[in-house]
């Protein structure tokens, strides 16, 4: 049954375009249609060819009360352009289940069937519930695709973990229909009052510290974790400003982005925005040092010397300065710690030393996690009235980890 919450009332009269792709979880799409109809939605269903091997169009037609569309070039559709008509009709696109193949085609902008064509043509918000074998979900290609979908503005629902039809156990199960319908309802609840959410300021990516006009000091940060946090915060109803170092990532939908290069520039923007924020997340990999005097012209190699001496000075400690703001203008502050050993000890020390409210510690020595990767693991530590609590997050997509981090931070904000 649909949960009895005020958010469900916001579904009355909403036009939901449900896409169903191939997979055993397609049988759950019938319950999704039923729950959406019970909540007062108009529902139209589009099925891929493969989906029809698992559930018949007639079943979904009977439940939705509308013809089910399966063909891109339908001669019975209005003027032969029914896909454009459907794209304009929808208030929201929901794909459940979404296979690995469909997700890959969406990421690459393909339009080789009705469902993918609709997704390109439709400007409405889009939610997607992945469903696949646990090994397929964990594959680096699937993780890259899931992260790119989130950056492109899709809201991912799940996947859940548990027993799978193939006998495996792990992440990849489609979220339950009730969870999916609740996510649809939550989307419209946020849309009714988008400005009510807390202002969240996030720093992301590396900084570049100039040595001369063509060289700089930097690090391997890709910005993926910070951008995933920004997307997750928007999905949870926040108003987000992202202060970004130089990265090659698109701005998540609904996020205000400010581009900076150096630590000093990031420091300036952070101190300007932090007093207006409820939550500040310092995820950027800020360079600890910068050149004391960047050269005006390109430094030339000295043929008579095998060494080059640089004088470096400390950069401002952005997260510590935000945490030290007066109480009446200080946001809740979340920091990150990239460590290679004694993770818990160093994270707890940084939490106390910099007066943070919460810290997310990563073991960057683990292969396939952290810098440049689509997956990460973390140890979360946060202050409570009685001491320090902590929770370990196992390796998972950064988009999924970001949701848990933001959820914990917003929980602390409401205490």
Give the pLDDT confidence of 232-260 residue by residue, as tens digits.
Answer: 898 888 999 999 999 988 888 788 999 99
Task: Catalogue the active-site residues.
Answer: 166
Q: What angle do helix axes 224-235 and 398-414 make, rounded to 10 degrees? A: 50
Rounded to whole angstroms, the Cα distance separating 305 from 28 reads 71
350 a known binding residue? yes
Q: Residue 15 above 80 pLDDT?
A: yes
> Is 24 part of any known ligand binding site?
no
Per-residue pLDDT tens digits for 364-394: 777 666 565 677 889 999 998 889 999 998 8
Is 318 annotated as contributing to ligand binding?
A: yes
How much of the chain exceeds pLDDT 90, in percent? 53
Same fold, 6-192 and 196-414: yes
Query: Confidence band (pLDDT; 50, 70, 90) for 161?
Result: confident
The answer as to CATH 3.40.50.2300 being correct for domain 196-414 is: no
135 is in an annotated binding site: no
- The SS3 assignment for 209 reads strand
316 belongs to an annotated ligand binding site? yes
Lowest mean pLDDT among 148-152, 292-296, 316-320: 148-152
Q: Which of 396, 404, 347 is nearest to 376 (CA)?
A: 396
Q: Is 224 annotated as a binding residue?
A: no
* pLDDT tens per residue across span 272-310: 999 999 999 999 999 999 999 998 899 888 888 888 888
CATH architecture for residues 6-192: 3-Layer(aba) Sandwich (3.40)
What average pLDDT does the segment 304-324 reach? 93
Q: Is position 28 annotated in a ligand binding site?
A: no
Q: How far apart are CA 23 and CA 53, in angstroms?
A: 9
What was the pLDDT predicted at 303?
82
Domain range annotation of the chain: 6-192, 196-414
The reply to whether 177 sits in an annotated binding site is: no
Q: Consult the annotation and say whether 335 binds a ligand.
A: no
Q: State the CB neighbour count (10 A cutoff) for residue 56.
A: 14
Euclidean distance between CA atoms 228 and 225, whole angstroms? 5
DSSP code string of 17-32: EEEE-SSGGGGGHHHH
pLDDT higher than threshold 70 for residue 213: yes
User: Per the annotation, does 126 bind a ligand?
Assistant: no
Q: Is 387 left (phi over 0), alpha (psi -120 to 50) or beta?
A: left
- Quick check: helix, strand or coil at residue 93? strand
């Amino acid at each position: 049954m649909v949960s009895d919450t005020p958010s469900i009332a916001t579904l009355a009269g909403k036009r939901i375009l449900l896409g169903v792709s191939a997979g055993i979880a397609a049988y759950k799409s019938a319950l999704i249609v039923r729950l959406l109809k019970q909540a007062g939605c108009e529902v139209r269903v589009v099925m891929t060819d493969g989906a029809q091997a698992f559930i018949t169009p007639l079943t979904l037609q009977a439940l939705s009360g509308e013809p089910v569309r399966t063909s891109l070039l339908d001669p019975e559709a209005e003027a032969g352009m029914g896909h454009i008509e459907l794209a304009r009709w929808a208030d929201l696109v929901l794909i459940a289940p979404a296979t690995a193949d469909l997700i890959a085609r969406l990421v690459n902008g393909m339009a080789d069937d009705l469902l993918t064509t609709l997704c390109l043509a439709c400007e409405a918000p889009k939610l997607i519930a992945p469903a696949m074998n646990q090994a397929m979900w964990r594959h680096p290609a699937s993780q890259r695709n899931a992260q790119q979908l989130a950056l492109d503005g899709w809201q991912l629902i799940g996947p859940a973990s548990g027993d799978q039809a193939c006998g495996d156990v792990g992440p990849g199960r489609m979220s339950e229909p009730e969870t999916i319908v609740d996510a649809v309802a939550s989307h419209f609840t946020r849309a009714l009052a988008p400005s009510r959410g807390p202002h969240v300021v996030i720093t992301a990516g590396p900084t570049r510290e100039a040595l001369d006009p063509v060289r700089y000091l930097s690090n391997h940060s890709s910005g993926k974790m910070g951008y995933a946090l920004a997307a997750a915060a928007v999905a949870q109803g926040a108003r987000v400003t992202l202060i970004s170092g130089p990265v090659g990532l698109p701005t998540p939908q609904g996020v205000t982005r400010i581009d900076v290069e150096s630590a000093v520039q990031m420091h300036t923007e952070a101190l300007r925005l932090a007093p207006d924020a409820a939550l500040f997340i310092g995820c950027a990999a800020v360079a600890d040092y910068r050149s004391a005097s960047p050269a005006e012209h390109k430094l030339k190699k000295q043929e008579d010397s095998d060494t080059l001496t640089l004088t470096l000075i400390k950069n401002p400690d952005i997260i510590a300065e935000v945490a030290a703001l007066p109480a009446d203008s200080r946001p809740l502050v979340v920091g990150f710690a990239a460590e290679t050993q004694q993770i818990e000890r160093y994270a707890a020390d940084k939490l106390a030393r910099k007066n943070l409210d919460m810290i997310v510690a990563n073991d960057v020595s683990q292969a396939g996690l952290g810098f440049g990767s689509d997956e990460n693991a973390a140890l979360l530590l946060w202050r409570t009235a009685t001491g320090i609590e902590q929770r370990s997050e196992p390796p998972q997509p950064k988009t999924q980890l970001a949701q848990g981090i933001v959820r914990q931070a917003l929980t602390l904000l409401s205490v």
